[in-house]
Structure 1
Amino acid sequence: MAEQKEESIMDKITEKFHHDDSSSSDSDDEKSSPSTVKSAVYRLFGREKPVHKVFGGGKPADVFLWRNKKISAGVLGGATAIWVLFELLEYHLLTLVCHCLILSLAILFLWSNATTFINKSPPRIPEVNIPEDVVESIALSLRFEINRAFAILRDVASGRDLRKFLAVIAGLWVLSIVGSCCNFLTLFYIVFVLLHTVPVLYEKYEVQVDSFAEKAMAELKKQYAVFDAKVLSKIPRGPLKDKKKV
């Protein structure tokens, strides 16, 4: 009987060891699972969605990421033609609109009068009306973006985040330098071309760009820590007084 008890105790101990080993191996597998490894990978600007979802996931994202090469090439070619027409040939917008209206009205007028000689009914000119819901949606979207920009500027000016303040000041300074080198149309065209080239290249070389951005951000944080220790920490600041309401 004593030997049977000892054997049962030993069996329980070995089963417990096997159970612990299996649970530890399961926990190791969970730690090294692709989802946890994927979440630990650095992403540019801290994004969690694919590039296509970041751009909205609709037709604009398909155009920017060249899902349909014909449409993307047509949009980029049209923007290039407009830039060449207005910037290089120095054509004016009002002149272009007037010339297009003159040409279209002359063609329709001559076509309508020519039908009396060829015994055909004149072409029916369609009625063009701008839908009210489209105008309202555009106005609401524009209002939302303007209010968000005002909220960001107010948050920056409140003095709560020095790093954000310095980043906004540096961005505006760079934008002012770029604006002094080219006019608004050229700047708009440059941004348009960048939107059609940078996202698709980033999506293609995502891993390499993210690894380089991780190293760059680590270096920037290191330099900011040095700047904070040598300069920002030595700036005198007044004591903060808590105002209590009686």
Structure 2
Amino acid sequence: MKSKIYRLFGRERPVHQVFGGGKPANIFLWRNKKVSAGVLGGATAMWVFFELLEYHLLTLVCHGLILSLALLFLWSNASTFINKSAPRIPEVYIPEDPVLQIASALRIEINRAFAILRDIASGKDLKKFLTVIAGLWGLSIVGSWCNFLTLFYISFVLLHTVPVLYEKYEDKVDPFAERAMHEIKKQYAVFDAKVLSKIPKGPLKDKKKV
């Protein structure tokens, strides 16, 4: 029998399905290059505005509204003098269903995160606990180097580059990742034997027995 091919993080589905298989997956995996480039360009422009030029979000929103309202107001009043139709200002409203769907999906993910944190804090899985602590510690170090906006932008750029590169070269990346995971498990086994196994896992029982 043919041995099962190792896939990064033990995934069994294609990368596109891992990302949900919808429009977000198409954007992150550059299925439509114009849309993906537009989204990444928009995020870059926002980062340049707010981080490099030190423009504030409230100031940008107010200036945008001032310019839009001024142009529409002048156009509406000038149309009577130049015998042209007034601008058709669309009615903008937020539909209820998408908001409820987003809120429901966000609630599910938050509850799942709380459940994972509770499971880690219960002390059942020491390996998962150490992994999360190391990840949070690394994230705190990165956070001390840059602010939240820059960190968010870096994460956004990575989402637009790493998945598509991995999908393209997954047959070369997965064997390397398999060897790396094997080495990590090997080093963890040594660490477990020398350190973790010597840590008391609970109160001593039957201490009064003779």
Q: TM-score under structure 1 normalisation?
A: 0.81
Residue 176 of structure 1 pairs with residue 140 of structure 2: yes
Please state whether the residue corresponding to 2:37 is helix, strand or coil.
helix
Gaps of 5+ in 1: 1-30, 242-246
How big is each residue's C-alpha offset from its partner over 1:66-98, in whole Å with a ceiling of 9 and x where there is no partner?
Answer: 111111111111110100010000000000000
Residues 73-222 of structure 1 mapped to structure 2, 5 A cutoff: 73-222=37-186
Question: 2:142, 2:21 → 1: CA distance?
Answer: 31
Q: Which amino acid aligns with 1:136?
A: L
Deviation of 1:233 after TM superposition, in Å, equals: 1.1
Deviation of 1:240 after TM superposition, in Å, equals: 7.1
Deviates more, 1:230-239 or 1:103-112: 230-239
Q: Which amino acid aligns with 2:10?
A: G
Deviation of 1:126 after TM superposition, in Å, equals: 1.2
How big is each residue's C-alpha offset from its partner over 1:109-166, in whole Å with a ceiling of 9 and x where there is no partner?
Answer: 0000001111223122111110011111111111111100000000000000010000
Assess, with a 3 A threshold, how the Cα gap between structure 1 residues 237 and 138 changes in structure 2: closer, same or farther. closer
Please state whether the residue corresponding to 1:130 is helix, strand or coil.
coil
Please state whether the residue corresponding to 2:55 is helix, strand or coil.
coil
Tell me the residue number matched to 1:28. none
Q: Which amino acid aligns with 1:218?
A: H
Deviation of 1:100 after TM superposition, in Å, equals: 0.2
Question: 2:25, 2:72 → 1: CA distance?
Answer: 37
How big is each residue's C-alpha offset from its partner over 1:222-242, in whole Å with a ceiling of 9 and x where there is no partner?
Answer: 10111011111112333477x
Which structure has greater helix proportion? 1
Larger Rg: 1
Q: TM-score under structure 2 normalisation?
A: 0.95
Question: 2:202, 2:181 → 1: CA distance?
Answer: 32
Q: Which amino acid aligns with 1:104?
A: S
Please state whether the residue corresponding to 2:197 is helix, strand or coil.
helix
Q: Which amino acid aligns with 1:163?
A: K
Question: 2:39, 2:202 → 1: CA distance?
Answer: 55
Which of structures 1 and 2 has the larger relative contact order (alpha carbons within 8 angstroms, sep 6+)?
2
Tell me the residue number matched to 2:208. none
